[in-house]
Amino acid sequence: QQQVKQSPQSLIVQKGGISIINCAYENTAFDYFPWYQQFPGKGPALLIAIRPDVSEKKEGRFTISFNKSAKQFSLHIMDSQPGDSATYFCAASLTSGSRLTFGEGTQLTVNP
């Protein structure tokens, strides 16, 4: 019940396109949903996060869409750039907790 499932495993988009990564969770007690970006040789870095009291959060070219009833959330990267090429992890947790439960990761490649 603690799992977070992420898809797709890998994604290739053209420069300027929209990248969409999806996640689904099982534990309805989760109430904090961050996305992390990881470049090769580096640790994960927080990109954007959402609480379930809103359905969408936008920061620059990055948007999280959240569907509480479906227990799903997604990351949209608008106007994707080659510099966005990285591995993206969704995660979920309890705001009262300390454990991040990660999805399997999506390797995004943005072609010039």
Site of interaction with another protein (CB under 8 A): 32, 34, 36, 41-46, 49, 51, 89, 93-105
Residue of 11, 33, 5 lying closest to 77 (CA atoms): 11
CB closer to another protein, 17 vs 38 = 38
CB-based burial label for 54 (10 Å; 0-12, 13-18, 19+): exposed
Cβ nearer to another protein, comparing 30 with 80:
30
Question: To which residue do tokens 């959402």 refer?
Answer: 50
Distance CA 51, CA 49 (A): 7
Identity of the residue, 74 or 88, whose beta carbon is nearer to another protein in the bound complex: 88
CB of 32 to another protein, least distance (A): 4
Q: How far apart are CA 43 and CA 29, in angstroms?
A: 27
